[in-house]
Structures are given as structure tokens and as C-alpha cells.
A and B are shown apart, each in its own frame.
Chain A
Amino acid sequence: DAGVIQSPRHEVTEMGQEVTLRCKPISGHNSLFWYRQTMMRGLELLIYFNNNVPIDDSGMPEDRFSAKMPNASFSTLKIQPSEPRDSAVYFCASSPGHLNTEAFFGQGTRLTVV
């Protein structure tokens, strides 16, 4: 398996533009997570899906952020409109969903909003 695949690897956009980050989880994994890495907060959980259903979105910073998982093999994280403070590395991770199993991370998308 190729692991968790994220695209793009790097994104530079202007303030006010819409940004869409994409993730393909590992086949057969039931849980999917979006994280944001910043110096101040480390790896911050934004949203967690189980069997394509959002279970916990309490970490989504504000209404400008939205995430979808239309099927078991694809998820998106959208920011609209984007702001400079959204600049960070965004990670997608997936897990088999069983207890005592770890999450597997993608390589991340480095977002820069100018």
C-alpha cells in the first residue's frame, strides 16, 4: 500500500482565496483525521471521521473551515476564505479503527497564505 496520500504537497495562495486540501487514506482504514501543525499548538486535531461520518469536529477553528468525506477513499479540507494565520502544515491520517492501533500519517500539505 502507498500509505496515506495528500495533495498538494505545497500550496501558496493569496488571502481571501479558497483552498482545498485532499487526502486518500489507506485502503480498509475506517477512521480519518485532519491535523494542523503549528509551533504553538503542535499537532492540533481538526476533525475526525469514522466510516465516512464526521464524529468530532470540535477542533475546526471557525466556519471558514469545512471537511468532507464523500467515500471511504477520499476526503477534503477546505478553507474559504483563507487568511495568513491559516499558514501551517496540514496532515491527514488514517487508522484501521480498532482499539490499540495507531494512526498513519501522510506527508502533509504546507499551506502558505500571503
Chain B
Amino acid sequence: DQQVKQNSPSLSVQEGRISILNCDYTNSMFDYFLWYKKYPAEGPTFLISISSIKDKNEDGRFTVFLNKSAKHLSLHIVPSQPGDSAVYFCAASDRGTGNQFYFGTGTSLTVIP
């Protein structure tokens, strides 16, 4: 059963606008969340993370928001750039039971120049 869900398989955004990628999870014990970016024929690379004690974490153009009551997190990219075009995976971990990360199905972002 998929514990981390990304319901939008794809998203297209104009260059310079905001990209918002969404992620939902079902396990209330998850307390650490990450976003990864993946280009074709490469492995996923870490982008940004957030602990459950926070509701926002910002790193340059990337901001992750966490809504624990809704079991929802989102990644905002602003302004979007063509080089941001990739597949974005959301991941979650229950640090109390181990170090394993559970991933969603990914959202393919296309930034149109």
C-alpha cells in the first residue's frame, strides 16, 4: 500500500512563474520529509527536507511546506527555470523505526521557456 502519494503525474509551468508540487502521506508516524529531483538516466538527488517540528523550510528558490494535520506537504519553486524540468519525488521517514525512506510516484515538471 502506497504510504506516500503524489496525485499529479505531471505539471507544466511557464518560466518565471511558481511551480507547486503536492504530496500526501497516510502514516501519521512519519516525522521527516524530503524532496528529490531526478533527471532522465540519472539517480534521484536530494533537494530539500523538513522535520515534523517545522511547517516551513526554505532554501533559495525552493520552499517546502508541511501541514501535519492534513498529512500534506508541498514544494514551491519560484521563479521556475527551464533547468528545473525533471521528475520530483516526495519521500518520508519514521525516524523512530529506522532510517528507511518511502517515496511517492513522482511528478514530472516541465518549465516552458
Q: Are B106 and A43 closer than 8 Å at their CB atoms?
A: yes
Q: Is A2 an interface residue (CB 8 A)?
A: no
Q: Are B99 and A50 closer than 8 Å at their CB atoms?
A: yes
Q: Is B32 an interface residue (CB 8 A)?
A: yes
Q: Are B43 and A105 closer than 8 Å at their CB atoms?
A: yes
Q: Are B45 and A105 closer than 8 Å at their CB atoms?
A: yes
Q: Which of A34-42, A66-74, A75-83 touches B?
A: A34-42
Tell me whether chain B's interface is mostly helix, strand or loop, or mixed.
Answer: loop
Q: Is A55 an interface residue (CB 8 A)?
A: yes
**Chain B neighbourhood of A56, CB < 8 A:** 98, 100
Q: Is B110 an interface residue (CB 8 A)?
A: no
Name the CB-closest residue of B to A96.
B99
Q: Are B103 and A100 closer than 8 Å at their CB atoms?
A: no
**Chain A neighbourhood of B42, CB < 8 A:** 107-108
Bound: A102/B44 CA distance, A = 11
CB distance from A43 to the nearest CB of B (A): 4
Q: Is B6 an interface residue (CB 8 A)?
A: yes
Q: Are A107 and B41 closer than 8 Å at their CB atoms?
A: yes
Q: Are B100 and A45 closer than 8 Å at their CB atoms?
A: yes
- Most B Cβ at <10 Å: residue of A4, A31, A43, A55: A43
Q: Which of B2, B49, B103 contacts A102 (CB 8 A)?
A: B49
Name the CB-closest residue of A to B6.
A42
Bound: A11/B45 CA distance, A = 23
Q: Which of B2, B49, B91, B100 contacts A100 (CB 8 A)?
A: B49
- A interface residues (Cβ-Cβ under 8 A, vs B): 4, 31, 33, 35, 39-45, 48, 50, 55-56, 91, 93, 95, 97, 99-100, 102-108
